[in-house]
Amino acid sequence: MIKKFRYYILLAALTIVSTSCLDKYPSDAVTFDKSIQTVDDANLAVLGIYDALKSPYLYSGCLTLLPDIQTDLVYGVNNNTNIYGEIWRWNDILSTNTDIEGVYGALYVVINRCNFLLDRVDAVRAKTTDDDELDRLDQYCGEAYFARALAYSELIKLFCKAYEKDQDMTKELGVILTEHYLGNEKMVRASLKDSYDFVLKDLDRAAELLELEDDFEGALYDSAYFNEYTVYALRARVALYMQDWEEAIEYSSKVIDSGYYFLASATQMATDEQSYYQYMWSNDFSPETIFKVAFTLNSYGGALGTVFANYDMVSMRPDYVPANWVFYLYDENDLRDDAFFKVFTTGYDHALYWPLLIKYWGNESFIAYNIYHVTMPKVLRLSEQYLIRAEAYVKQGEYSKASSDIATLRSARYQGAVSASMSADNAMQVIEEERVKELYMEGFRLHDLKRWHKGFKREPQDQSLSNGNSLEVKADDPMFVWPIPQHELDSPGSEVQPNESNK
């Protein structure tokens, strides 16, 4: 059963420290056997899982920013603060990098919180007799299974090689799989196949437990909570990364054809000054958002837009500016350009005059309190589902269907007539360019290049840092896979194997 509304009770987030991913709650927390005694306790535990997703190491920060900063989408600016400098320079990415440690640890915090609930819920179920209360428990378990699958899917993307359907993935390293909060699981990496199978198993459980009632007539878009179609959206993404084209089409189609979500129009106006597409970024509300991490003025995560502006109420001193080649991808009728970029003269002594990224300028309700660059992360959007399905169609040689999906997406973003003529000669180039244009700085580029086995080359641009602005990276470079944090390798009893990037 899916509720129409849930009250968002904020729990204190755990501090991410350099300890093993299997370390648990602080020593002064409620002991395991005395926790989660009632259905309401289970609800609080689930809200704690949602709260963990606010970590600035996750979607409102490093997890979103670093995979794109590492590639060819942005350039470091002369005299910047050097934030994420190791990542941007590429060859300085070490196993002791605190941002990589933070991402790794924050994802395992989510996993541990899921395991904590799932290990305790049977005891609560055993003493619960009310059917509605039992339905609530099923929902909470479904949310926990989904959150665990989501966290593991991100770990696999970042710390594992690309999945190759025609190769033996039992011989490739996956991630540490832990299914229980107080288990005796070894600190050892499962195979890449087993890691993905674990994610799929959790998604199957989540889909069953979060299934909508037959007579459900509510709205699902712009949700801050997981539901049946959130599961399908992630399943489609995972299928794409596993090169399972049929499943990618099946599950993206479930979302697209559901009628619960609609592409935000860049031509129809939400206000006198903003289109629905612009409003999605300026106010964090959209009919195409499948799942977002919700913030309030009293509880929010990182500020995604800071490194692209660093606005101090007087001037802007961005650490990173968009790559020149990106601008040329948008044609004159593509209104995403206006929603994403605006030309400014920066406050540096060199007075760089450049289009800056305003996509993450910040939620207007936060800006009213002089809180800039805070944007609610849109973890799953309908536009990505169209891109997933289009790519899967291309891989199956169904170019007309792929063209239709790209044209549908463009029709919501363009002013005037749109077209998308795709064939064997140009289809993947169209897909690559459309993913850059639609998903710019949302954390996809590194993983896309890795799974496509493509490298990249940067060309110097105005006031770009010399140490990195001529970087050329070959396909399948070891650094496409992040190093396992050193503290994980050094933890007592650890049998964790390093990546090539650790060496």
In the block, residue with structure tokens 């959790």: 202
Q: Which of 31-35, 162-166, 211-215, 422-426 has the lowest mean pLDDT?
A: 31-35
Let me know if residue 444 belongs to a domain: no
Residue 427, C-beta contacts closer than 8 angstroms, at least 6 positions apart: 394, 399, 402
- Asked whether residue 175 is domain-assigned, the answer is yes
Residue 145 in domain: yes
The predicted pLDDT at position 29 comes to: 52
Q: Which residues contact 211 (CB under 8 A, 6 or more apart)?
A: 228
Q: Is the pLDDT of residue 205 over 80?
A: yes
Terminal-residue alpha carbon distance, the chain: 49
Burial 41-66 (b: 16+ CB within 10 A, else e): ebbebbbbbbbbbbbbbbbbbbbbbb
Q: Which residues of 205-241 are buried (b: 16+ CB within 10 A; e: fewer)?
A: bbbebbbbeeeeeeebbbbebbbbbbbbbbbbbbbbb
State the Rg of the chain over Cα.
Answer: 22
Tell me the pLDDT of the chain averaged across its residues: 93
Chain centroid to CA 471: 26
Nearest to 26 by CA among 37, 40, 12: 12
Please answer whether residues 444 and 431 qualify as being in contact, where contact means their C-beta atoms are separated by less than 8 angstroms.
no
3-state helix, strand and coil shares in percent for the chain, rounded to the nearest 5? 45, 10, 50
* Residues contacting residue 426 through CB under 8 Å, at least 6 positions apart: none
DSSP 343-384: EEE-SSTT--EEEEE-TTS--HHHHTTT--S----EEEEHHH
For 56-93, write each residue's pLDDT tens digit: 999 999 999 999 999 999 999 999 999 999 999 998 89
Residue 433 belongs to some domain of the structure = no
pLDDT digits (tens, 9 = 90+) for 397-435: 999 999 999 999 999 999 998 989 999 999 999 999 999
| Identity at 409, one-letter amino acid code | L
Residue 146, amino acid = F
In a domain, 177, yes or no: yes
Residue 216 has pLDDT above 70, yes or no: yes
- Look at the chain and report how many structural domains it folds into: 1
Q: Are 8 and 298 in contact (CB under 8 A)?
A: no
Q: How far apart are CA 133 and CA 142, in angstroms?
A: 14
Q: Is the pLDDT of residue 295 over 80?
A: yes
Q: Is pLDDT of 4 > 70?
A: no
CA distances in angstroms from 70 to 20, 100, 182, listed in the order given:
25, 12, 36
**Would you tell me the crossing angle of helices 228-241 and 192-209 to the nearest 10 degrees?**
160
What is the pTM for the complete model shown?
A: 0.94
For 210-257, where are the alpha helices, taking DSSP H only?
228-241, 245-256
Residue 23 has a pLDDT of: 53
Residue 431 in any domain: the answer is no
In eight-state DSSP terms, residue 338 is H
Residue with tokens 């106010």: 283
Structure tokens at 90: 């590429």
**Is 101 part of any domain?**
yes
Q: What is the CATH classification number for the domain harbouring 152?
A: 1.25.40.890
Rounded to an integer, the average pLDDT of 107-112 is 97
Assess contact for 408 and 386: CB atoms under 8 A: yes
- Mean per-residue pLDDT, 471-492: 96
Reported confidence tier of residue 33, pLDDT bands at 50, 70, 90: low
pLDDT digits (tens, 9 = 90+) for 36-50: 999 999 999 999 999
Show the domain range for 30. Answer: 9-52+94-204+474-503
pLDDT of residue 184: 75
Q: Is residue 57 part of a domain?
A: no
Kindly tell me the sign of the dihedral angle through the C-alpha atoms of 51, 52, 54, 59.
negative
Q: How many CB atoms lie within 10 A of CB 187?
A: 17
